Structure 1
């Protein structure tokens, strides 16, 4: 008999429906992003691998002990380290991603000598600590503190960390057929990164979204127009439950929150460009409405405003 909820030092494992479990990351404890697994019948498929091997190891151990089955597949939603730095725990499985995600993973997640990594990360953590001490805005201070806590866990894991890349690639769609249920893996385009993948469990009407859907953070934007198009596609899917890349298990209502965030920036950036305002003027005059003004990653809003402005100006 499987438990409906298990709490670990890294995450809370929640039973979503038959054979579908979400691993919701605890803030600052070494998971950073959400993960989860699906029981296909005779084996398991895991979606994303957290930011540290320790968190990934905990998930795999629990999943295999609970079900009495082995993990056969790991799906990487995109190349960001908080979703793939636990890949080494699944090195003996088939690791899946799009070919573009695999290429980006190899190009941008480069692990140097341990001492070099430690030196660079020590400087970065010290800079974050200085920002925390000097910040007078409570939301920004909390955001930076969260970044510090998450990065510190990666710092602690550097000694054992190694990059393990996807071993099988696909382009737009891949179906993994199991004896009890199947999963459909879709690459819907590039919104958050140049290539973002979701995993859909049609029998249970559940999907793992990676960072195409998140809760309460200023998620990085790669292409704002494609991002809006992708979220609109997600809205048309036959879904009851979505598991965001960060935040709590949700319904499709989360799509509306993300869409409003994206559309508001696009609309105001177009107005600024049409009025010949500079990007700096656009950033300084932009007013973030509720609930977005309370989101973590407040420094990320300026990054996103610059991305949207420059993308539209150069389109």
Structure 2
């Protein structure tokens, strides 16, 4: 995909006429991918990065590149790396699923600014200690990236405001513009509610964290996540924008599906056999292909979550 502009936070790629992906640069404050679509007279933006600074640059670039105003913003889910930039679009209509808005209100709470800064600084100290103790390799690289991203967030904390979605939907919403429409669909699996944005006429899918590239993305409901991937595969999308990683095609889906199949099969079997979660995780042999996937907790967190999910089904 051609690169049309590059900023300190992200790279802009034009995926189709009027459809752009903003691919985050590692460790620079964006953290997750974003994008925007020209609807004809206005723009719809998908996700707003991890910091107001990155989001403000996204809005500047989107509006200067297209000559259109950002009228809608879609939050794929409530995690901070996808919504902490909402304040840069305070005059736009921010859209999410009803559940995402509820979780946003419950989880994304700004307390006393000084306390928030102290807690974040303490977290960074903890990360630095882990980096110092870690062996060279993918986990150490993941810890370093986490530290860099959290440093950028710490710098923006004094002016960070929580701007929650104003328009909510349940399973599906279509936003019609003067020249094209986008479809929002609700799934779950990464969180309790994960929205995607599909641009039918361009064959482009903004998948949020339901699709990532070589990343141990958190899994909350393995079967629902797996079902979401099957549904995404049925959309007529030639181009996929993952929540993290490089823009690709539907070839991004099979590795995600294989990862979830492994989680489901191994954890379901362990839970039904009577093994404890500690026994299951200690005996589990992570396949070599996942040794290079990023994530500070590797596969262990998802193994634990999947085991506990199936243990509750007994």
TM-score category by the smaller chain? over 0.9
- Aligned: 1:128 with 2:127: yes
Contact 1:31–1:52 (8 Å) recurs in 2: yes
Q: Secondary structure at the match of 1:65?
A: helix
Mapping of residues 143-154 of structure 1, within 5 Å: 143-154=142-153
Cα distance in 1 for partners of 2:291, 2:274 equals: 26
Q: Which runs of 4+ in 1 moved over 6 A?
A: none
C-alpha displacement of 1:260:
0.3
Mapping of residues 181-200 of structure 1, within 5 Å: 181-188=180-187, 190-200=188-198
Contact 1:265–1:305 (8 Å) recurs in 2: yes
Aligned to 2:75: 76
Per-residue deviation, residues 85-144 of structure 1 (Å, max 9, x unmatched):
000000100000011100100100111111101110111000000000011252211111
Match of 2:233 among 221, 235, 240: 235
Aligned to 1:221: 219
Contact 1:219–1:300 (8 Å) recurs in 2: no
Cα distance in 1 for partners of 2:276, 2:220 equals: 20
Residues paired across the two proteins, number:
312
Q: Secondary structure at the match of 1:299?
A: coil
Q: Secondary structure at the match of 1:13?
A: strand
CA RMSD, 1 decimal: 1.1
Aligned to 2:256: 258
Aligned to 1:282: 280
Q: Secondary structure at the match of 1:229?
A: helix
Once the two structures are overlaid, the 10-residue window that deviates more, 78-87 or 275-284, is: 275-284
Aligned to 1:22: 21
C-alpha displacement of 1:196:
0.2
- Aligned: 1:168 with 2:156: no
TM-score (normalizing by structure 2)? 0.97
Cα distance in 2 for partners of 1:181, 1:297 equals: 37
Q: Secondary structure at the match of 1:244?
A: strand
